[in-house]
Amino acid sequence: MERLSWLPILTWLPQYNLKWLKMDVLAGLTVGLTTVPQALAYADVAGLPVQFGLYSAFMGGFIYMLLGTSKDVTLGPTAIMSLLCFSVVGGEPHRAVLLSLLCGLIQATMGLLRLGFLLDFISYPVIKGFTCAAAITIGFGQVKNILGLRGVPSQFVLEFYYTFAKIPEARVGDVVLGLVCLTFLITLTVMKRTLPEDNAPTISRVARKLIWTVATMRNALVVIGASVVSFSWETYGYDVFTITGKTAQGLPPFTPPPTSDTTANGTNVTFGEMVEDFGGGLAVIPFMGLLESIAIAKAFGSQNGYRIVANQELLAIGLTNIMGSFVSAYPVTGSFGRTAVNSQTGVCTPAGGIITSAVVLLSLAFLMPAFYYIPKASLAAVIICAVAPMADYKVVMKMWKIYKRDLLPFGVTFFVSFWEVQYGIIAGIAVSGALLLYNTARPKIKIFDNDTLVLELRGEVSFPASDYLSNFIHTNALPASSPRSVVLDCHHVSGIDYTVVNELSDLLRQFKLQGVRLVFARLEPSVLKVLLAADVKGLRYTDSVEEALQESQNLHSD
C-alpha cells in the first residue's frame, strides 16, 4: 500500500486497456499542438530565447505520469511562472535553469515532509490580486510586440510610458498581423464557448466536432498561418514583420544545471551570489507553482469525480523541476488552459502526457528551423488571449458583498505587483497574515447585559487574545463605581493556552477583591481539563448559564 501511495501509476497501470490508450493518444496530440505555440510564447514572457519554452514543456509529461494523482493535469510553462521567472532572473538562461533546480528541491522537500498545509496560508484574495495584476502586466507587455516596437523597458511603469511614447514608431506589418491574429483567436474562442450541446438540433454533430477541433487548435493554426505569411514576405526580400529569428536547433543536452555564471563584462558570479540575487523569489516561485498546480488538480478532480493527494502533487512538481533543470528548463507548474483541453478531449490517465511530451520533442528535433519565421506579433496575440481570462474584475464585487476586509490584501497584492510581482505576493501574504492574527487577537464576544453580565465567547482563545479578553471583561464588569459579577459562557471555546489561564487566574483574584464573582458556564471538557490541571484558585463552573447566574449571586458562600 505504501508503494502505491508513492507511485500512483501502479493504481491505474494494471487496468490499462486499448480504449484508454486511444483516448490518451488523442488527448496527448491535442494538448501537444496547444503546448508548442504556448511554450514558444511564454519563453518570451520569461525573457528567454523561444527554445527554452520547449525545453521546459516535455519533462513534466514523463515525471507526472509516474507520480501525479490527477489524470487531467499537464505540467509545463505558464504565463504566471514565466512572469515570476523574468522578475527574478531578468531573462538570463543560466540563472533560470538554476532557479528551476532550487525550486524543485524546495517543492520536493515540502512533499516528502508533508508540508502541503503551508499553502493554506496563501489566501484567495492574494491569489486573485496577483493573477489580475499578472494578467495586466503580461498582456500589456505584449502590446509592444503587436506594434513592432523596440527598446521598450520591461519594468511596468516605464513600459507603459514608453509603449505610448513610441507609438509613432509602430510597424504597419506587425500591427496588421497582430490584430488579424487577435481577431481570429477571439472569434474561435467565442465560437467554442457558445457551441450548443451534442444533442442540440441547431447544429450537426459533425459540424460541432469540427468547430471544437479548429477552436482547440487555434493557437497552433495562428502561429503556423502567421509563419507562412512571414516566410512568403521574407522570400521576396521584404522585411515586413518582426520575427523570432535564429534559434538553437535539436534537443537540449542532458547536463547538470550551472552553479556559477559569468556577466557580460567577464565577472564570475558564484553559486552563493546567484542564490542571494534570487532573493524573495526563491520563496515565492515554489509556493506559487505549487498553489497554481494543486488548485487546478483539485478543480478538475472535483469536476471528474476523483481526489488528488496534495503532498504527492508537491513531489511530482518538485521532481519535474529538478529533472527539468538538467535539460535547460525554467520553473514550470500546472497549466489551467492545457489541463482543460486535456479533460475535454477525454484523457483517461496521466499517460496522455507522454504523447504531449513526444510532440514537443519532435518539434525540437525537426521544426526549430521553421521557428525562425514565427512573427512576434502572432506569439503576442496567443499570450494576450491566454491571459485575458485571468483578469477577473468581477471578483472585486464579490469580495465587497461577502467580506469587505478581503479587499485589503487583494488591493495590496494587486498594486504592489505592478512594482515587483514577487513583492506583491509577499506583501499580500503579510497583510492576510496580519488580518488573521488580528481576528485571533480579537475574538468575538457577545454581551447580554443584565444585573449579572453574561459574556459569550466564540472560537478558540489563545495567547494573542488574552490581554484583549482581560481588558474587555475588566472594562465592562469592574468599573470603579459599580463592579458586577460575570458569567463567562464558554460553550464555543474549543481550547485555551497557558497565557490565557494566567490571565483568567488574575481576573478571578480581581473579582474576589471587588466582592463579585466570575463564573464559567458550559465549559468544553478539553478546556475544563486545562483549568483543573492549572489548579486555578477560586474557579467556579456550571453546566448551564442559568446555574451560573444563580451561582454568581450566592456571595455568602465565599
DSSP letter (8 states) at residue 253: P
pLDDT score for 480: 67
* Nearest-10 crossing angle of helices 79-89, 93-112: 120
pLDDT score for 169: 92
Looking at 372, 388, 404, the residue that finishes a domain is: 388
Residue 320 and residue 453 share a domain: no
Structure-model confidence comparison of residues 250 and 195, the more confident one? 250
pLDDT score for 307: 86
Residue 466 and residue 340 share a domain: no
Q: What percent of the chain has pLDDT over 70?
A: 97
Q: Looking at the domain assignment, is residue 150 inside a domain? A: yes
pLDDT score for 63: 96
Q: Looking at the domain assignment, is residue 147 inside a domain? A: yes
Residue 199 and residue 96 share a domain: yes
Q: Looking at the domain assignment, is residue 293 inside a domain? A: yes
| Cβ atoms < 10 Å from Cβ of 365 | 11
pLDDT of residue 552 exceeding 80, the answer is: no
Residue 114 and residue 33 share a domain: yes
Assigned C-alpha cell, 517: 464573582
Q: Looking at the domain assignment, is residue 11 inside a domain? A: no
Residue 349 and residue 484 share a domain: no
> What tens digit of pLDDT does each residue of 386-396 get?
888 888 888 89
pLDDT-wise least confident of 83-92, 135-144, 446-455: 446-455
- Segment 168-195 shows an average pLDDT of 91
CA distances from 208 to 32, 191, 196, 205, 429 (A): 22, 10, 8, 5, 45
Q: What is the CATH number of the domain that holds 509?
A: 3.30.750.24
| Cβ atoms < 10 Å from Cβ of 367 | 12
Structure-model confidence comparison of residues 361 and 295, the more confident one? 361
Tally the residues of the chain: 558
> What tens digit of pLDDT does each residue of 475-522 get?
888 886 788 889 999 988 888 889 999 999 999 999 988 888 899 999
- Segment 48-59 shows an average pLDDT of 94
pLDDT of residue 556 exceeding 70, the answer is: no
Q: Looking at the domain assignment, is residue 24 inside a domain? A: no
Domain count for the chain, please give it: 2
Residue 383 and residue 449 share a domain: no
Q: What is the 3-state secondary structure (H, E, C) of 158-218?
A: HHHHHHHHCHHHCCHHHHHHHHHHHHHHHHHHHHHHCCCCCCCCCCCHHHHHHHHHHHHCH
DSSP letter (8 states) at residue 115: -
> What tens digit of pLDDT does each residue of 224-253 get?
999 999 999 988 888 888 888 877 888 999
- Segment 263-269 shows an average pLDDT of 79
- Segment 2-12 shows an average pLDDT of 75
Residue 227 and residue 78 share a domain: yes
pLDDT of residue 200 exceeding 70, the answer is: no
pLDDT score for 394: 87
| Cβ atoms < 10 Å from Cβ of 31 | 30
Q: Looking at the domain assignment, is residue 13 inside a domain? A: no
pLDDT score for 421: 79
Could you tell me what percentage of the chain is helix, strand and coil, using 3-state DSSP and rounding each to the nearest 5?
65, 5, 25
Residue 156 and residue 44 share a domain: yes
CA 400, 404, 409, 413: dihedral to nearest 10 degrees? 20
Residue 366 and residue 452 share a domain: no
pLDDT score for 72: 92
pLDDT score for 201: 64
Query: Residue 78's pLDDT band (boundaries 50, 70, 90)?
Result: very high
Q: Looking at the domain assignment, is residue 264 inside a domain? A: no
> What tens digit of pLDDT does each residue of 141-179 get?
889 999 998 888 878 888 899 999 999 999 999 999 999
- Segment 359-363 shows an average pLDDT of 94
Across-strand partners of 487?
454, 519
Q: What is the 3-state secondary structure (H, E, C) of 449-493?
A: ECCCEEEEEECCECHHHHHHHHHHHHHHHCCCCCCCCEEEEEEEC
- State the average pLDDT for the chain: 88
pLDDT of residue 4 exceeding 70, the answer is: no
The answer to whether the beta carbons of residues 53 and 39 sit under 8 Å apart is yes
pLDDT score for 302: 79
Residue 328 and residue 183 share a domain: yes
pTM of the model: 0.81
Q: Looking at the domain assignment, is residue 23 inside a domain? A: no
Residue 220 and residue 124 share a domain: yes
| Cβ atoms < 10 Å from Cβ of 154 | 14
pLDDT of residue 272 exceeding 60, the answer is: yes
Assigned C-alpha cell, 133: 495584476
Q: What is the rounded CA–CA span in Å between residue 494 and residue 498?
A: 14
pLDDT score for 1: 42
pLDDT score for 186: 93
Looking at 362, 388, 414, the residue that finishes a domain is: 388
Residue 524 and residue 379 share a domain: no
> What tens digit of pLDDT does each residue of 305-324 get?
888 888 899 999 999 999 99
Using the Cα atoms of residue 228, residue 229, residue 234 and residue 237 in order, give the sign of their dihedral. Answer: positive
Q: What is the rounded CA–CA span in Å between residue 210 and residue 200?
A: 15
The answer to whether the beta carbons of residues 72 and 343 sit under 8 Å apart is yes
The whole domain housing 83 covers 29-245+279-388
Cell 471583561 belongs to residue:
473
CA distances from 92 to 86, 212, 264, 466 (A): 8, 39, 11, 51
> What tens digit of pLDDT does each residue of 409-426 get?
999 999 998 988 778 888
Burial class of 16 by CB neighbour count within 10 A (0 to 12, 13 to 18, 19+):
middle
Looking at 388, 423, 456, the residue that finishes a domain is: 388
- Segment 47-73 shows an average pLDDT of 94
- Segment 525-541 shows an average pLDDT of 89
The answer to whether the beta carbons of residues 23 and 348 sit under 8 Å apart is yes
DSSP annotation string for 398-465: HHHHH-GGGHHHHHHHHHHHTT-HHHHHHHHHHHHHHHHHHHHHS--EEEEESSSEEEEEES-B-HHH
| Cβ atoms < 10 Å from Cβ of 347 | 29
| Cβ atoms < 10 Å from Cβ of 545 | 18
